[in-house]
């Protein structure tokens, strides 16, 4: 996660050193990714809802070429208020923080997400993806590695073209 403001806020409020905070943040993001890959959905307080959507096989015809596009999966992000229990559980499981510290970490992190999202500022969660303002819209672009992980069942399928005369 690339957010000095979030690191500083967690460092100060939890009385942890910077390296430990960064280690915890990385563990939390890894946990979020694991949960998304396993359950194909996850809600994160302060951000919204992520899900893995299946895009079935389809054909495209243009001029004298028909292309067969293999199935794939896509990470979809929806901005909406969510009830989130997974993030707190992930923080407690992945960071080694006490229950009290994990709850505080969760509140601070959710607050940071909400503030960043509300101001439409860029937020990079390495391994998950990047949120940013594009043409006045706040969008999510999944991390390339995450896209590869959710699509590993389809990795050897390629676009097939048939040329018709």
pTM score, whole prediction: 0.83
Structural domain contains residue 45:
yes
Structural domain contains residue 61:
no
Domain span at residue 42 reads 4-50+71-146
Structural domain contains residue 97:
yes
Q: Which residues pair with 54 in a beta bridge?
A: 73
Structural domain contains residue 63:
no
The number of distinct structural domains making up the chain is 1
pLDDT-derived band at 165 (thresholds 50, 70, 90) equals low
Structural domain contains residue 153:
no
**Does 149 score more than 80 pLDDT?**
yes
Handedness of CA 111, 114, 115, 116 (dihedral sign): positive
Residue 22 CA to residue 8 CA, distance in Å, equals: 10
- What are the Cα distances from residue 52, in Å, to 29, 35, 38, 102, 146? 17, 11, 10, 27, 11
**Does 160 score more than 80 pLDDT?**
no
Percent of the chain beyond pLDDT 70? Answer: 98
Structural domain contains residue 105:
yes
Structural domain contains residue 62:
no
């Amino acid at each position: 996660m690339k957010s000095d403001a979030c690191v500083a806020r967690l460092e100060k409020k939890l009385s942890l050193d910077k390296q430990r905070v960064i280690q915890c943040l990385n563990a939390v993001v890894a946990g979020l990714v694991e949960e998304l890959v396993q359950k194909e959905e996850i809600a994160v307080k302060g951000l919204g809802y992520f899900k893995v959507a299946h895009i079935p096989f389809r054909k495209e015809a243009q001029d004298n070429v028909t292309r067969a596009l293999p199935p794939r999966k896509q990470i979809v992000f929806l901005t909406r208020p969510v009830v989130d229990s997974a993030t707190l559980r992930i923080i407690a499981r992945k960071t080694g923080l006490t229950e009290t510290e994990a709850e505080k970490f969760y509140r601070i992190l959710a607050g940071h997400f909400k503030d960043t999202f509300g101001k439409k500022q860029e937020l990079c969660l390495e391994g998950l993806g990047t949120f940013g303002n594009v043409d006045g819209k706040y969008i999510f672009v999944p991390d390339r590695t995450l896209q590869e992980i959710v699509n590993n069942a389809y990795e050897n399928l390629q676009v097939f073209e048939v040329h018709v005369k």
